[in-house]
């Protein structure tokens, strides 16, 4: 993690990444790079601090994707309050959002070693898929995919159940790695 970066990401590109202006393929490339590169993760965090809008961007849901632990550490170091729920395969969790939380993160645990591609599927309450995040970055050693939620939407949501699934994908074949259930309740007094 402390090796100097062989091909540092340009600041302008980091800004576009941070603002969500890159196309999905390029964004996925950068996700991968930032996962393994402390130097560029640090540069991204500095940029966000300089911009001064880090908290506003996060609150507005500009961060809504699969993120890395390095990225989360930088956000925490920048003073953001990160609420995290860790869910094992097949598990469920009772979750909420506090008024002063800046970021809501779900850590979906699964055995990831040796996998070439992992997709995240978000399910609505009746179990219908409404979004699929393809080929997300993951750290096989950590054994989890970390999903940052749209905290603005979830903060405003009534009590209800959400689900996510992780799939191992290889060519045309896919295999369910785990299903994760979130029993959401609004923060008391904020429902």
For Zn ion, the closer CB: 32 or 119: 32
40 binds Zn ion (CB under 5 A): yes
Q: Which of these segments, 3-11, 80-88, 117-125, 136-144, binds Zn ion (CB under 5 A)?
A: 3-11
The runs of H, that is alpha helices, within the chain are 11-18, 24-36, 38-51, 54-59, 69-77, 151-156
62 binds Zn ion (CB under 5 A): no
Please state the closest distance from residue 48 (CB atom) to Zn ion, in A: 16
For Zn ion, the closer CB: 5 or 169: 5
Please state the closest distance from residue 37 (CB atom) to Zn ion, in A: 3
For Zn ion, the closer CB: 5 or 157: 5
Nearest to 147 by CA among 62, 64, 32: 64
How many C-beta atoms surround the C-beta of residue 71 within 10 A? Answer: 21
67 binds Zn ion (CB under 5 A): no
b/e code 115-130 from CB counts within 10 Å (16+ = b): beebbbbebeeeeeee
For Zn ion, the closer CB: 37 or 103: 37
How many degrees, rounded to 5, is the angle at CA 56 between CA 187 and CA 80? 65
What does the binding site for Zn ion look like in residue numbers (CB under 5 A)? 5, 37, 40
């Amino acid at each position: 993690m402390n090796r100097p970066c062989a091909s540092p990401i340009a600041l302008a590109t980091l800004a576009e990444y941070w603002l969500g202006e890159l196309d999905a393929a390029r964004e996925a490339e950068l996700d991968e790079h930032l996962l393994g590169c402390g130097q560029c993760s640090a540069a991204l965090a500095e940029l966000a601090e300089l911009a001064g809008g880090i908290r506003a961007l996060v609150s507005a849901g500009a961060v809504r994707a699969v993120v890395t632990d390095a990225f989360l550490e930088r956000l925490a170091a920048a003073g953001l309050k990160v609420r995290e729920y860790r869910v094992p395969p097949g598990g469920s969790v009772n979750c909420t959002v506090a008024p002063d939380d800046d970021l809501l993160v779900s850590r979906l645990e699964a055995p990831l070693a040796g996998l070439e591609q992992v997709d995240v599927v978000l399910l609505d309450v009746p179990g219908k898929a409404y979004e699929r995040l393809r080929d997300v970055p993951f750290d096989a050693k950590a054994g989890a995919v970390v999903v940052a939620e749209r905290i603005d939407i979830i903060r405003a949501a009534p009590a209800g159940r959400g689900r996510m699934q992780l799939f191992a994908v290889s060519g045309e074949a896919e295999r369910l790695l785990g299903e994760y259930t979130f029993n959401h309740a609004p923060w008391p007094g904020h429902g």
